[in-house]
Every structure is written in C-alpha cells, then in structure tokens.
Amino acid sequence: MAIILAPMEGLLDFVLRDVLTRVGGIDRCVSEFIRVTDTLLPERVFIRVVPELLHGGRTAAGVPVRPQLLGSDPACLADNAARVAGMGADGVDLNFGCPAKVVNRHGGGAALLQDPALLFAIVKAVRAAVPAQQMVSAKMRLGFADDSRAEECALALQEGGAGEIVVHARTRADGYRPPAYWHRIADIRARVRIPLIANGEIWNPSDAQQCRLESGCDTLMLGRGMVSNPGLALEIRAATAHHGPQAPGLDWPGVQTHLGHFWHLVRSRLEARQQAGRLKQWLNFLRRHYPPAQQAYERLKTEIDVRVFDAWVNAQPLGAAQALR
C-alpha cells in the first residue's frame, strides 16, 4: 500500500506539505496546480509553488513532490511539462479534476472530462515532452455533469501515455458532497491496464479499508482527511498491518508541536497578509478531529494581529514553543 498527499489549491501548499510529511506515513505528494495558459512559464513560477524543486524535488522529510499542471493547450502544456521535469521533479501530474467554476469556465480542470479526445491529445503531447524515465500521471473525477464517460476518459488518459491515474470518486457536479462512489473506480479498473489511485471521503482507517475494498485500489490519496487528522496516514498503515481498526493516532500535544513548526514556517515563508489566515484555516480543519482545536479556533477566529498568534503558539507546550524559535 502507498499513500499520497493530495493537491488542494489554497490549502496544501509547501508549508503544510512540509509539516504533514514530517508526521509520517506519506509516500508522495502532488503540488497545487500550476496554471498554464499560452506561455512558457519561467522557472521562478514553478519554484514559487513547488520550492521543493530547489531541494531535489523533496520535502524536508525526504518525500517526493510531483508538480501538477492545469491547462487545456496540449503544446503549451508539453513545453511547460518539459521545463519543470528538467528541474528535478520525479514526474509531472496533469489536472483534470478541479471543480472550481473559474477554472472550468476557461476550459480547464474537470471541464476537460467532456472531451476525451482533448484529454488524449494533452497527455500524448506531455508524454512526448517529458523524459521517459519520469512519470506522467493524471488526476480526474468521474465526470463533469455525470459519470457516464468515466471509463472513456480514463482510457483516453491511458492511451495518451499516462502511467497512473488518480480518480476522485465524484463528478464535478457532486463537488465535495458525500458520498464518494468508490465502486465506480473498480468499474474503471476493469477497463484500464495502468495503476489507479483512489481518492475521496477517506477520513479514518475504516473509510480507507472500505475504499480499498470497493475500488480494488491498494494506493490511496488523502486530502481533507489528512489535514483534519495529521496522523491519519500512520493510523491507516497501522490498521492495515494489524488487520483491524485499532491504531494509534496523533494526540493533541503532538499536533501542538507540529502547529508550532507550521507557524514558524508561515511566519518565515509567507507574506504578512496571509499569515493569520493560514493558522486559522488549519485550526478550522483540525477542530473536526480535535476538541482543543475547536477552543483555539473560537479564541482566534476574529484575530488578525500576528502578535496574538505568536503569543498563542508560545503558550503551547514546550515542543511547540521550541519549534517557533
């Protein structure tokens, strides 16, 4: 079994990737999408989104990060894929799953699932531009308005040359509303030869077990579940190893230490206007799993002065305070 950290625009950036891969259990990350329109992007744009490219394409914990490109022009995507592949990434991922209206209006993300021929053309062009030893992968949803062309889209990606496909088991119309239709991934598996990775609504080890059972996939991609419970990948691995639901989790004191490191990175690496919001954003996710995070969120949700956040972090247990220094 392998576990991959999902790309989530505006949330799972290099800061949170650093922290979550330090917790452990993650085999690979995919970056937030890098939008490609009609130009060859300079290297600094790729580095801004994936600064890990300056360090062998890996997080501080040594976990590979695969840059993800979003666009609809095969030739332009190919040129940009060749450039970022040459910067040391282990491969290039293509976004065919983003449900955002602003992205879909411009023919990107999940909107491309309405045109399997264009999916094929994009992947074929990118595969030809990226060195053979580097992976070209893709992330898709089950469809745009419905899932009637899910198998056709996956086959187009395969025939274009994708080496693996992540399937978010919902359509664009479903958004992020439960449930995720894991059994439809099994339907796709019956038609394609390349590895599939299951994604969507995996919040705990029981969900992971059921997803693997219904989808037939050994490899999982975790997104919101991992952000809400940073120990989730470790719990899934432990539950799988012991063939049961009982697994140790990351307790709140452990989370506090990682929050301290997170805040240190936010303060040192992000613009001042982003800093308070980023800590509140993560606390908002953490409160789903940790009651103390609810208390912290209520305490800080209206604050904007970073000095208040400095004081809160420094008031946490010793591990968190040391991480800030």
254-292 tens-digit pLDDT = 999 999 999 999 999 999 999 999 999 999 999 999 999
Looking at the structure, tell me whether residues 141 and 8 fall in a common domain: yes
Range of the domain at 294: 252-324
What pLDDT, on a 0 to 100 scale, did the predictor assign at position 320?
A: 46
Looking at the structure, tell me whether residues 96 and 212 fall in a common domain: yes
What pLDDT, on a 0 to 100 scale, did the predictor assign at position 243?
A: 65
Question: Which tens digit of pLDDT belongs to each residue from 153-172?
Answer: 999 999 999 999 999 999 99
Which pTM value belongs to this model? 0.94
Catalytic residues: 98
Domain boundary among 193, 212, 241: 241
Looking at the structure, tell me whether residues 19 and 115 fall in a common domain: yes
In a domain, residue 247? The reply is no
**245: confidence class by pLDDT, cuts 50, 70, 90:** low
How many structural domains is the chain composed of? 2
Return the bridge partners of 68, or none.
33, 93
Looking at the structure, tell me whether residues 279 and 319 fall in a common domain: yes
d(CA 243, CA 113): 37
Question: Which tens digit of pLDDT belongs to each residue from 12-66?
Answer: 999 999 999 999 999 999 999 999 999 999 999 999 999 999 999 999 999 999 9
Looking at the structure, tell me whether residues 100 and 193 fall in a common domain: yes
Mean pLDDT over each residue of the chain, to the nearest integer: 94
Looking at the structure, tell me whether residues 104 and 233 fall in a common domain: yes
Question: Which tens digit of pLDDT belongs to each residue from 60-73?
Answer: 999 999 999 999 99
Helix residue ranges, H only, the chain: 14-23, 43-49, 74-85, 101-105, 116-129, 150-160, 182-189, 205-215, 224-228, 232-241, 252-269, 272-286, 291-300, 306-314, 318-324
Looking at the structure, tell me whether residues 51 and 144 fall in a common domain: yes
pLDDT greater than 80 at residue 319:
no
Better pLDDT: 231 or 101: 231
Looking at the structure, tell me whether residues 220 and 272 fall in a common domain: no
Looking at the structure, tell me whether residues 213 and 263 fall in a common domain: no
Looking at the structure, tell me whether residues 90 and 142 fall in a common domain: yes
Looking at the structure, tell me whether residues 228 and 264 fall in a common domain: no
pLDDT greater than 50 at residue 248:
yes
- Assign residue 137 the CATH number of its domain: 3.20.20.70
Better pLDDT: 29 or 240: 29
In a domain, residue 246? The reply is no
